[in-house]
Structure 1
Amino acid sequence: MIDFITFFENITSLQRAVILVGGITFFWSIESIIPLFNFNYKKIKHASTNLFFTFTTIIINFSLAFLLLNSADWVTANNFGILNFFEFSLIVNTILGVFLLDLIGAYLPHYIQHKVKFLWKIHLVHHSDHNVDTTTGNRHHPFESVVRFVFTLIGVAILGVNMWLVFLYQSLSVISTQFTHANININPKIDKFLSYIIVTPNMHKVHHHFKMPYTDSNYGNIFSFWDHLLGTFKKLDPSKIIYGVDTFFDKIENESIKNLLYRPFEKSKSHVNK
């Protein structure tokens, strides 16, 4: 356990980049072997748009990282936060830290972005991908990257987690996001079994269906039990899923980086069926 902690205490930017690139490369390869959908698209061209937004996310997160580091150092030094209030063992503290960071730093902002009109327009960049694959996982407008960062910062302050635990959570989050968006065909029984604990590809792809009420469901990032506990879990046969959002369904526009960057400022359109 000590070696595990030491690794994440001293993880470098290069090692974090390797996790990101390695995950995309791995799931990209699996998609080619056992695809869920046989998309009629130019995969590299599709990826170029999504990787642009991945790059902006990396820039924003690295630019603001000092805030996260200073906050984690402060709560640790001052014994501040929920996890520091109770005397949990190291293992329990780690598990609870990852669980609750997933709730505050991922599930909560995701849910809110679907309920607040301006934030929804920002989040549309992610939902307007018509060919969801592993590169879609980090297709976020720069504004969304800031929103998610702020909620992670709030999670650090409320929970009182140290920086190595934040790095652990972020590493798990990256891999989970790439996995759940990957265009891979998983045995339904295996997927169903796993979906009681973690978010699986079939479970998350329901969230990318173009119509309500499925669009507003399955918000989970790593752990699926938040959706089960909070009543936002829904099922849909993968064969019936159509990607995109019916209020912004122009496939050409949704592949344009320029259009996607401008999306939050476009004339307001109602959320699907709202």
Structure 2
Amino acid sequence: MIQAGLGHYAIAIPALLLVLLASVEAIWPRRALVLGRSPRWRTHALFFVSNAVIGRLLSFLVVVGVAANWAEAHQFGALNLVALPFWLEAAIAFVILDFAVWFQHFWMHRSPYLWRMHAVHHSDRDLDVTTALRFHPFELIVSTFYKSAIVALLGAPLLVVLAFETWLNANALFNHSNIRLPRKLDRMLRLLLVTPDMHLVHHSTLVEEQKNNFGFALTLWDRCFGTYRTESILGAENQEIGLAEVHDARPAGFIWSMKQPIT
């Protein structure tokens, strides 16, 4: 019962944020869109539905919440080896899980096989809040097993895991959004969180810029490992988004995007 209630919040909060950010984008866009909202939004909605179905099927095998419950039931994982206050367990779990997500993203760009899946996300020629939904089902499967393994090895409590998933999804929606933040606010937020302008650099068509700013939430890891970049060499206004080899409207199509990793 408690898990179901928490799960509803984990869905409702990002959903409300998506609507809010999409509304702000319409009023104060950061950049003019190359391909526009439609059919991109339709394609991204289809990705969301496809991934929801696959996520449901994966739940019969393993999901992050199941991994947390299993670790707690069997007292498995690092955090179950010592007695710590809940707030400290939560803080440690958040930091380690955030690093795990950063490392996965980093490796997606290093492995040719993983990159073929992740390139679907990068092939979007615009960047807005719905781009955060644009992940190929192959990548969802890899991410689910990877994060479930990390959660089990860590022994993170279910409440913390669901809170982290909500936090991660909310941050992904925020930093993919096409909103214009005041420069001072952007600089302040970057001390801790990935901002839209910071993540914009990562979606550059220039490969050397794609290999920077891997964070989805905290900026800590990019700063520590030397992958932090303030701005594109072309500037935020002139930077091209997407893949250098794709200059047409194909990424706005769902079938083309789904076939991308195997073509």
- The TM-score, its normalising length taken from structure 2, stands at 0.91
Distance in 2, Cα, partners of 1:58 & 1:50? 12
Gaps of 5+ in 1: 1-5, 267-274
Distance in 2, Cα, partners of 1:230 & 1:40? 33
Distance in 1, Cα, partners of 2:251 & 2:180? 25
1:253 to 250, 254, 257: 250
Asked if residue 102 in structure 1 is aligned to residue 105 in structure 2, the reply is no
Instruction: State the match for 2:201 in structure 1.
Output: 206
Is contact 1:207-1:219 (8 Å) kept? yes
Deviates most, 139-148 or 71-80: 71-80
The aligned amino acid for 1:151 is Y
Gaps of 5+ in 2: none
Instruction: State the match for 1:72 in structure 2.
Output: 68
The aligned amino acid for 1:239 is E
Offset from partner CA, 1:8-61 (integer Å, 9 cap, x none): x44265444322321211100010121100225442422111121122222222
Shift of 1:144: 0.6
Distance in 2, Cα, partners of 1:57 & 1:121? 17
The aligned amino acid for 2:68 is A
The aligned amino acid for 2:250 is E
2:130 to 118, 132, 135: 135
Instruction: State the match for 1:272 in structure 2.
Output: none
Instruction: State the match for 2:20 in structure 1.
Output: 26
Q: 1:165 to 1:61 in 2, by over 3 A?
A: farther
The structure whose RCO (Cα within 8 Å, separation 6+) is larger is: 2
Alignment of 1:14-93 (within 5 A): 14-66=8-60, 67-68=62-63, 69-93=65-89
Equivalent residues, number: 258
Asked if residue 161 in structure 1 is aligned to residue 159 in structure 2, the reply is no
Is contact 1:109-1:147 (8 Å) kept? no
Instruction: State the match for 1:270 in structure 2.
Output: none
Offset from partner CA, 1:94-120 (integer Å, 9 cap, x none): 12112211221x212211111111211
Secondary structure of the 2:209 match is coil
The aligned amino acid for 1:74 is W
Distance in 1, Cα, partners of 2:175 & 2:208? 20
Deviates most, 31-40 or 59-68: 59-68
Shift of 1:65: 3.2
Instruction: State the match for 1:172 in structure 2.
Output: 167
The aligned amino acid for 2:98 is D
The aligned amino acid for 1:37 is R
The aligned amino acid for 1:173 is L
Offset from partner CA, 1:162-211 (integer Å, 9 cap, x none): 22222111111111111000000011221122112111111111100110
- The TM-score, its normalising length taken from structure 1, stands at 0.88
Distance in 1, Cα, partners of 2:227 & 2:108? 14
The aligned amino acid for 2:163 is L
The aligned amino acid for 2:127 is V
Deviates most, 11-20 or 181-190: 11-20
Regions of 4+ moved over 3 Å: 12-17
Distance in 2, Cα, partners of 1:223 & 1:65? 28
Q: What root-mean-square deviation, in Å, do the aligned CA atoms of Structure 1 and Structure 2 show?
A: 1.9
Shift of 1:212: 2.3
Secondary structure of the 2:5 match is coil
Secondary structure of the 1:220 match is coil
1:150 to 132, 139, 145: 145
Instruction: State the match for 1:114 in structure 2.
Output: 109
Is contact 1:138-1:177 (8 Å) kept? no
Distance in 1, Cα, partners of 2:148 & 2:191? 28
1:240 to 238, 241, 246: 238
Deviates most, 130-139 or 37-46: 37-46
Is contact 1:210-1:243 (8 Å) kept? yes
